[in-house]
């Protein structure tokens, strides 16, 4: 049997080890992909430390060990199962790790992201059965995946850039829900981070008229503004605002919070049409809440960030102001194809990403060093073809 090298986690909180294992055989509707690049998101370090496992006491969300992680693989089709019609060996692809059961009511109605078994291959999820069926994350030289998960890559999209599609897609799916486009104003809360920068690039590609963004690092905010100075405004804000309690009337407009006043000023006093929240874990709930106060009457917010605190929101304020708040996670393969098409046409600008490519053998060092980055501009990529 041919063999390959995979980075495997044998115990949570321990380093991964490079193990030689068999190259998997694709099932009839699956494809074998030789991985050329796999994105590493900052959150992976929390995942392999079992941060999320401890949030669910029975550990039902985590894959069985030893596990191969790696959310965002891109590579070349090496072998296609006998029922595969739409890709051939040699095709360059991104592998959407979103897995669903394919047969429940939500899957049948075309909403696979709402499947109760929703699972991210190479990460964690709601179905141990799916994690056993697709145990190969992108931190391996070969993976199998369903043909329905593949996004064909245009020639001008590199494997390293495609390895960033996970967070791009998360932002894109949410921006579609928000109707981001011509004539619309958008506030991206946390615009210079890994998710927020992707959201800004996509909102520009989708034609959003005015993009407001918050962050803490002034230098990074200025770099974001330079992407499209005539359509982008940025504001440095402290991480922990002191908002008046919504129950005491703070919900009427956020009190004297500088962000709320600035957002109103930028929109002729109306407030923004939409808010996309991209704040990282650890940000306080008030930092999300003040962004909601920037919405105009009838405005909507989608949260793709990872604020863990409970949101103290006034339901009466939401009702009378017709405010919508929703959560969103990940994206469909069709949405991934939209992004590939935008990148292929050049409307989605991927050239601002600074790829930091490391061999598979450096995965533990990469995970340990992720805090040293230029916000969302740094793109952490593992090249599994190199194990030096
Ligand atoms: Zn399903």
Local confidence pLDDT in tens for the 388 residues of the chain? 899 999 999 999 999 999 999 999 999 999 999 999 999 998 899 889 877 766 666 668 899 999 999 999 999 999 999 999 999 999 999 999 999 999 999 999 999 999 999 999 999 999 999 999 999 999 999 999 999 999 999 999 999 999 999 999 999 999 999 999 999 999 999 999 999 999 999 999 999 999 999 999 999 999 999 999 999 999 999 877 766 554 444 445 555 689 999 999 999 999 999 999 999 988 999 999 999 999 999 999 999 999 999 999 999 999 999 999 999 999 999 999 999 999 999 999 999 999 999 999 999 999 999 989 999 999 999 999 999 8
Measure 327 CA to ligand 1 centroid, in angstroms: 19
Ligand 1 (single-atom ion) residues, CB below 5 Å: 100-101, 104, 107, 115
SS3 content of the chain, % helix, strand, coil (to 5): 30, 25, 45
Helix axes 333-345, 165-177, angle to 10 degrees: 100
Give pLDDT, residue 242. 66
DSSP state of 137: -
**153 and 184: one domain?**
no
Query: Does 196 map to a domain?
Result: yes
Total domains in the fold of the chain: 2
Q: Which two tokens stand for residue 191?
A: 């615009």
Furthest-apart CA atoms within the chain: distance in Å: 68
Give pLDDT, residue 138. 98
**194 and 93: one domain?**
no
**Residue 210 neighbours by CB distance under 10 Å:** 18
Measure 117 CA to ligand 1 centroid, in angstroms: 6
Measure 280 CA to ligand 1 centroid, in angstroms: 29
**205 and 269: one domain?**
yes
Give pLDDT, residue 255. 59
H-run or E-run covering 143: strand 142-146
**129 and 186: one domain?**
no
Q: Which CATH number do you get for residue 63?
A: 3.90.180.10
Q: What is the pTM of this model?
A: 0.95
Query: Does 388 map to a domain?
Result: no
Measure 84 CA to ligand 1 centroid, in angstroms: 21
Domain of residue 240, residue span: 167-327
Q: Which two tokens stand for residue 128?
A: 């141990």
Measure 75 CA to ligand 1 centroid, in angstroms: 27
CA 254/CA 257 separation, integer angstroms: 6
Measure 145 CA to ligand 1 centroid, in angstroms: 17
Measure 368 CA to ligand 1 centroid, in angstroms: 35
Identify which of 377, 166, 177, 375 has the alpha carbon closest to the alpha carbon of residue 276.
177
Query: Does 278 map to a domain?
Result: yes
3-state SS assignment for residue 225: helix
**304 and 360: one domain?**
no
Cis peptide before 151 (omega within 30 of 0): no
CA distances from 118 to 57, 103, 185 (A): 19, 12, 32
Number of residues in the chain: 388
Give pLDDT, residue 50. 79
Task: Report strand pairing: 272-277 vs 185-189.
Answer: parallel
Query: Does 344 map to a domain?
Result: no
């Amino acid at each position: 049997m041919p063999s390959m090298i995979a980075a495997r986690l044998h115990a949570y909180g321990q380093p991964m080890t490079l193990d030689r294992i068999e190259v998997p055989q694709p099932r009839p509707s699956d494809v074998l992909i030789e991985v050329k690049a796999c994105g590493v998101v900052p959150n992976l370090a929390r995942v392999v430390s079992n941060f999320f496992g401890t949030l669910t006491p029975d550990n039902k969300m985590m894959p069985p060990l030893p596990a191969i992680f790696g959310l965002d693989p891109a590579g070349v089709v090496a072998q296609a199962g006998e029922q595969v019609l739409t890709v051939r060996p040699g095709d360059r692809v991104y592998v959407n790790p979103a897995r669903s059961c394919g047969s429940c009511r939500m899957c049948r109605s075309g909403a696979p992201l709402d499947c109760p078994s929703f699972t991210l291959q190479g990460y964690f999820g709601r179905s141990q059965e799916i994690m056993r069926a697709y145990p190969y994350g992108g931190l391996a030289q070969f993976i199998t995946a369903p043909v329905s998960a593949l996004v064909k890559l245009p020639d001008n999209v590199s494997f390293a850039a495609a390895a960033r599609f996970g967070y791009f897609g998360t932002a894109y799916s949410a921006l579609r829900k928000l109707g981001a486009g011509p004539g619309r104003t958008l506030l991206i809360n946390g615009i210079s981070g890994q998710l927020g920068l992707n959201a800004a690039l996509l909102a520009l590609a989708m034609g959003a008229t005015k993009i407001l963004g918050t962050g803490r690092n002034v230098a990074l905010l200025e770099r974001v503004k330079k992407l499209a100075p005539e359509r982008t405004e940025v504001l440095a804000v402290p991480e922990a605002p002191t908002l008046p309690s919504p129950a005491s009337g703070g919900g009427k407009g956020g009190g004297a919070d500088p962000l709320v006043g600035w957002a109103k000023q930028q929109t002729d006093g109306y407030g923004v049409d939409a808010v996309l929240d991209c704040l990282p874990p650890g940000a306080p709930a008030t930092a999300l809440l003040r962004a909601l106060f920037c919405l105009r009457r009838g405005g909507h917010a989608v949260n793709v960030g990872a604020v863990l605190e409970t949101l103290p929101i006034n339901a009466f304020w939401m009702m009378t102001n017709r405010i919508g708040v929703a959560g969103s996670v990940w994206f469909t393969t069709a949405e991934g194809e939209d992004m590939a098409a935008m990148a292929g046409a050049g409307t989605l600008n991927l050239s601002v990403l600074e790829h930091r490519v490391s061999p598979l053998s450096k995965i533990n060092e990469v995970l340990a060093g992720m805090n040293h980055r230029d916000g969302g501009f740094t793109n952490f990529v593992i090249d599994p073809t190199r194990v030096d």
